[in-house]
Structure 1
Amino acid sequence: MDMDTDVVVVGAGPVGLLLGCELKLAGAHPLIVERLAAPDPTVKAGSVNVASARALDRRGLLPQLQAAQEQLLAQVREFIRQQGGGDGGGATRLPRFAAHFGGITIDGTRIDTDDPALADLGPAGEVLAVSQQAVEAMLAAWAAELGVEVRRGVTVTGFEQDEEGVTVRLAGGDELRTGWLVGADGGRSTVRKLAGFAFPGTDPEITGHQAMVDLEGGEKLGRGWQATDTGVFVNGPMPGRILTVQFDGPPADRDAPITAEELTAALRRVTGEDVTVTAVRSATRFTDNARLAEDYRRGRVLLAGDAAHVHSPFGGQGLNLGLGDAANLGWKLAAVVRGTAPDGLLDSYTAERRPVAAQVLDWTRAQVALMRPRPYERALRSVVADLLAGTDGSTHMARKLSGVLQRIGPADGHPLVGSAAPELFLADGSRLADHFHTGGGLLLRLSPQAPDVEGYADRVRTVTASCPGRPGTAALLVRPDGFVVWASDLADGTADGLSEALTTWFGAPAAA
């Protein structure tokens, strides 16, 4: 059957949009369908981690990230002023890798930024305070620029896959024929349910609220994360933003409208203060339901983002985990569509991304444990807070939460292989990230003795440059998602392993 499109992506949130852009950039033709008629304005994640910022930087979106961060910092300064903290002028920037774990704030000034894992991150390493709404907006603009088609107000009701493709049924009786179907449609994914993916995990125990509100008595609450005898709450870091966590079970009805009265009751119970929510601008309920798909692929159907993994939202890990899925999957699926993918390339998506998600789920479960208002957990919280107050503890947490420790394979051979490429400032004034704006792999030759390749011009660009800050490195082969898959130092300067790395990740060379 003729195909309407190469890939149908269900869901136009940040994950679906980034995936659509990655597919388009790599030569496939995606179609994104979204059941909502307009972007969801509900308050969600408030930050990106280093791995996400670097992924977007590689696609030329650093200026947009920096502008969004400055806009959010302006809101933080206004919140500090409203809370009686002066003009907020000190909040001109955030400490690098600022974060919290279970509501225990990590002091950014205690982090050892000379730690090797936190080095060579480039200007993207200075980006943190970017909201999910801002990320979605910049990705929507980029998708429009690339010509990615996004159809809103479209609901998927079913699909059937066969050896050649997938027939997708839409509400109203229309059908789409596509080579591949990707569910990026959130934690209650229709695609996941219809395809029959196993989704084991742990049941919810908490009720959380996050909202943007008008609040009377907010000056009584102080600023930031605070644990009480009845739960945990957050006031700020921008005007009107509140978050509460209660430990008396999940909500009776997660889909019921969230009222000012419900938020007021939650705030008063957790804080013990006589505060009142007078207006609700945006609100959501959440739980600590934590589940992970046993596989991210069933035939021609794949999952990405919350469709593949759900957990509590603490620290914005869901947004960052999903963006990592999209960056990993996009170029691989496009290579399959184009017919250049080596055997097993698409299977590496689950193999690489699922362990990252499993670790995030455990880290979010640990945070919930630290927040519980029982004597044993409060004692444990005190111990962990002491550990995180030191340089070693703060630095370890920064490495974990920032995503810089993510790898695509075991740490053997050259120390760079398997890790995200370091940011390199080249002698011509460009950065390594600048050479990834158009997608594709990259062979970076930093020495005249470095090897060259033939037969991959359609998949791997070769850049010959010098890098004064990296005198010992001769060459790097980097995947489209920024991970190093081969490297050579001047000490050996050979091409040993380069051909194997090329065929493993980019397929057979083109015929001469």
Structure 2
Amino acid sequence: MTEEVLSTPVAIVGAGPVGLSLALDLAWRGIDALVLEKEDGHVTHPRAGFVSVRTMELFRRWGIAQAVRESGFPDDFALSIEFCTSLAGHTLARDEYPALAAMPLPEWSPEKKQRCPQHWLDPVLKAALRDCGRGALRVETRVDGFEQDEECVLVRATDLRRNAPLTIRAGYLVGCDGAGSTIRTGLGIDMEGRGHLNYSMSVLFSCPGLLEQCGKQAAERFLLIGPEGTWGNVTVIDGRDVWRLTVYGTASKFDMDAFDARAWVLRALGTDRIAFDVVSILPWKRAELVAGSYGQGRVLLAGDAVHTMSPTGGMGMNTGLGDVADLGWKLQAMTEGWGGPALLPAYTQERKPVAVRNAAYSTHNYKTWVSPPRCDYLLEETERAAAARREIGAQMKRATQYEWQSWGLQMGYRYDESPLCVADGTPPVPDEYSRYVQTARPGARAPHVWLEPGRSTLDLFGKGFALLAFGDAAMAETASFARAADRRGVPLAVHRIESGQAAEAYGAPLVLVRPDGHVAWRGTGGRDAARIVDIARGAR
């Protein structure tokens, strides 16, 4: 059988949300990518569901935010949190949060968070990739190995449908192939951190009319607390019939032969009078791990291939989408020839601290979830049990608000120590998980300000660098940046900004914003324009 040989600027291994998003980002930048997926591409047990505000900003950039919002989750479903003994049992406390339709836009973003389970999100990403006319997806294609040199990466694969060998010659290879990444293993990169917090079991079940039958108001999540403490949670999937029960385990793996999924769902429901169907079960290991490096040479890694974290907080996929935003423009720069030798190494320097931060936060949340002490009489119909339920509920509500309102964590990550950003000597804003303060300090996400109805400053960023000029004197200084960028082949768009609110938010007459929307430099003049452009493109 003749071996098939393909060529592509970028090969991506793994067609989950991170791999598909990277292919879409590259396509949006005019770069073709080939996505290789060993499975058939269908999601049978959706895990990711929470789409953060920052991720929705990326979807806005790619033109798919509306499609994600309209993917199917009802916008009138309240996203509250309830602490209970079971869905038909005692309510210990509720933390009320509005439905998406009633949720106002935050003052610091043109987007708001969304719920979109992976079996809805992946098709949106695939459709966008198909419609843009760039890039391709090959399912049932297993990557067996790779070799790289100074010119390219040769990827050895197998077309599983034909049981035929396949070779891909790629300019760059990106492993988005999950926690057990074969690409990371092939590079010999180790994971660092806490590799084993516990084993858990995810049970997907269908139960039409669950809330009505249990007499419950809508909630995004029900935390289940028994005499032994918190033992699991039920999370909404589609806002209608499908739910996910997560059973917290121990240091030992579940015995799959002995695990009775129906019995666990019955315990979560608290009654045997409600009909339901178990759709699928998935065992998994909770960990707090980050890769020592995010790549070597022409082979890079993103998503769960470089960071695994407890899902408590919903930061796993969203951290991976942050990797995509950081890596996509760097691959564009290297492919088009305007990126310098320091550009790709900066990917690890920028993204690894973010993953360490998010993983630690997620572990903290998990510990909070399982913090209630044992209370053997919790389920009694006695006054002492009722008092214990009230006390535990109040404690849990206070402790977990840190998670449900983590705006600083979602939006406030920054690249203070990046070699691609020019420090301006100003003090950083506080790095608080629950509070986000916009700043244009170099390394930070550039602030959102409405320039006119429907048009944000964020809409100016993405395809290349953006130089914002506030006032006539600043505009006169932009020519030196334009010349420096043009001589180096760096895409640069100059924008004169008349908004006084934007001028105040950005804090300097001139602000250079990177393609990923982070500030590279801000100042008053263009005397050092060539040096600044070189730093921002990794040439110094």
TM-score by length of 2: 0.76
Question: Partner of 1:444 in structure 2?
Answer: 468
Question: Partner of 1:407 in structure 2?
Answer: 414
Change (3 A) 1:96 1:503: same
- Which letter maps to 1:323? L
In the alignment, which of 360, 364, 367 is matched to residue 366 of structure 1?
Answer: 364
In the alignment, which of 485, 506, 514 is matched to residue 479 of structure 1?
Answer: 514
Q: 3-state DSSP class of the match of 2:282? A: strand
Question: Partner of 2:406 in structure 1?
Answer: 398
Q: Distance in 1 between matches of 2:214 and 2:532?
A: 59
Change (3 A) 1:13 1:151: same
Matches within 5 A, 1:119-268: 119-122=107-110, 124=111, 126-146=112-132, 147-171=134-158, 172-200=164-192, 201-214=194-207, 219-220=213-214, 222=216, 223=219, 224-229=221-226, 230=228, 231-234=231-234, 236=236, 238=239, 239-252=241-254, 262-268=260-266
Contact preservation (8 Å) 2:171, 2:298: yes
Question: Partner of 1:110 in structure 2?
Answer: none
- Which letter maps to 1:93? A
Question: Partner of 1:113 in structure 2?
Answer: none
- Which letter maps to 1:170? A
Q: Distance in 1 between matches of 2:202 and 2:22?
A: 29
What RMSD, in angstroms, separates the aligned Cα atoms of the two structures?
3.6
Contact preservation (8 Å) 2:262, 2:278: no
TM-score by length of 1: 0.79
Q: 3-state DSSP class of the match of 1:368? A: helix
Shift in Å, 1:75: 6.0
Q: Distance in 2 between matches of 1:132 and 1:150?
A: 17
Contact preservation (8 Å) 1:210, 1:242: yes
Q: Distance in 1 between matches of 2:514 and 2:142?
A: 34
Shift in Å, 1:25: 3.3
Q: Distance in 1 between matches of 2:359 and 2:104?
A: 24
Contact preservation (8 Å) 2:77, 2:100: no
Q: 3-state DSSP class of the match of 1:315? A: coil
Question: Partner of 1:344 in structure 2?
Answer: 342
Q: Distance in 1 between matches of 2:285 and 2:233?
A: 14
- Which letter maps to 1:47? F
Question: Aligned pair 1:64/2:67, yes or no?
Answer: yes
Question: Partner of 2:537 in structure 1?
Answer: 506
Q: Distance in 2 between matches of 1:427 and 1:93?
A: 22
Contact preservation (8 Å) 1:445, 1:465: yes
In the alignment, which of 4, 18, 24 is matched to residue 15 of structure 1?
Answer: 18
Q: 3-state DSSP class of the match of 1:174? A: strand
Structure with larger RCO (C-alpha < 8 A, sep 6+): 1
Contact preservation (8 Å) 2:341, 2:539: no
Of all paired residues, the percent bearing the same amino acid is 27
- Which letter maps to 2:181? S
Q: 3-state DSSP class of the match of 1:292? A: strand
Q: 3-state DSSP class of the match of 2:411? A: coil
- Which letter maps to 1:434? D
Shift in Å, 1:324: 0.6
Shift in Å, 1:332: 0.5
Question: Partner of 1:38 in structure 2?
Answer: 41
Question: Partner of 1:456 in structure 2?
Answer: 485
Matches within 5 A, 1:66-81: 66-68=69-71, 71-73=73-75
Question: Partner of 1:495 in structure 2?
Answer: 526
Q: Show CA shifts across 1:365-410 (max 9, x none).
A: 2222223366289999965643566xxx689x43334x11110115
Change (3 A) 1:27 1:240: closer
Contact preservation (8 Å) 1:221, 1:271: no
The more displaced of 469-478 and 276-285 is 276-285
Contact preservation (8 Å) 2:76, 2:102: no
- Which letter maps to 2:27? K
Q: Distance in 2 between matches of 1:197 and 1:221?
A: 51
Q: Distance in 2 between matches of 1:445 and 1:216?
A: 55
Q: Please, which runs of 5 or more residues in structure 2 have no aligned partner?
A: 89-97, 159-163, 376-387, 418-422, 427-438
- Which letter maps to 1:444? L
Contact preservation (8 Å) 1:232, 1:245: yes
Change (3 A) 1:162 1:380: farther
Contact preservation (8 Å) 1:9, 1:184: yes
- Which letter maps to 1:130? C
Contact preservation (8 Å) 1:441, 1:480: yes
Question: Aligned pair 1:53/2:56, yes or no?
Answer: yes
Shift in Å, 1:243: 2.0
Contact preservation (8 Å) 1:6, 1:28: yes
Shift in Å, 1:497: 5.3
User: Which of the pair is proportionally richer in strand?
Assistant: 2
Question: Partner of 2:435 in structure 1?
Answer: none
Shift in Å, 1:341: 0.8
Question: Partner of 2:450 in structure 1?
Answer: 425
Q: Show CA shifts across 1:293-342 (max 9, x none).
A: 11111222211001111122223211101111111111112211222112
Contact preservation (8 Å) 2:451, 2:499: yes
Shift in Å, 1:470: 2.4
